[in-house]
Structure 1
Amino acid sequence: MKNIRIKHIILYLIGGFFVTAIISGISENLGAILLLIYLISIPILIFIYIKNKLPENTKNNLKNLLNNLSNNQKMNKNINQPTFQSDYNYFELVGTYYYTENLEDFLKDHENPYWKKLDKSNLSRVYKYHRLKDQLIKIEREPTNKYDKNAVRAAIQGKTIGYIAHVDKERFLRQARLPYFVRADISGGPCKDLDPFTNKYGPTENYGYHIRFYI
């Protein structure tokens, strides 16, 4: 195969064509099979001929190019696949709705001044309380919980404000030893939206608090 020359290819093309034509006259099915093989073999033969004619340095360059493309594809594949490193350390408390009173008792000192001066706010939505960042909260077990003896609660100033979700509990406990203090982001709460038709603010009844943190 290494000594293939152009005359060999020409002879193969001519001879193969006539052989296929003769066999097709005898048997159409066998002729069809031979024709398919003949057509497939032509580009293979040409490829081998070109490969053997390339200088050794060109072959090495092509080989290196293919290797680089392969490596780039692997790198891109790894880049496109999420590592989940940040998401893995991200948590959001659940059950905050049931501890609204505790949250608002803590947030009363962080009320938004625009809440009572809506005509000067120039905002489409106004929250009663400021969004708090890096607020220190305590994560600890709650063995007295009547619904889940393995519950892990979050508290501010000793008052419960939410829980680590059941589906996140195992993941959290693998990374933290309780009790554990984290810096959380607290947002949401009571808000009023501007009605574009009346140009007045109206309260939003279905509001909630969002408490998120990374560890």
Structure 2
Amino acid sequence: MHHLPEIAIIEPNTLTALGLRTILEELIPEAVIRTFSSFEKLIDDTPDMYAHYFVSANVYFEHTSFFLERKPKCIVLSAGEPPLLTGIPSLNILLPQEQLVKTIMQTRKRGHELTHHPVTPPATDAEHELSAREIEVLRLVTKGLINKEIADKLHISLTTVISHRKNITEKLGIKSVSGLAIYAVMHGYVEADSI
């Protein structure tokens, strides 16, 4: 049986936890993401089975000994204040979604891999194969170009661009531009810095 990486979000603010969960589900579709409103709820679960912990700063400080043992797996959620901990990645949850996604991508890039085993794309990837033209369109979408600009740049009609975008969305099952950007970065179609 293939074991999916599990990620715990320990964050008392429900909206923050749900927002982060949505982003992580788009970023790492193969992971199982669980949210806990308190440290106690995490402990009631099986706290050691998680590949990563996204922990609210308050919870982290109240239970430092638990998280220090798991330091390589922790990312502390801060609300705009500068990171108080050296050597522990932190994530400013007040950033707009695109920035948040970028920060998570850069955290992954810096070797803070979100799983301890290499992520093997699901076998269904063959069905998702994008054509060379769809990849070109995807790249331009992630750079923020609108359909008309994409049509001009690729010398194709507006209808063709719309048709390509529809195919990309259907093949990948991703509707949001930020989701497509994440997919493009994860699959090496674009550099995280170029978005």
- The TM-score with structure 2 as length reference comes to 0.22
- The TM-score with structure 1 as length reference comes to 0.21
The structure with more strand, counted as a fraction of residues: 1
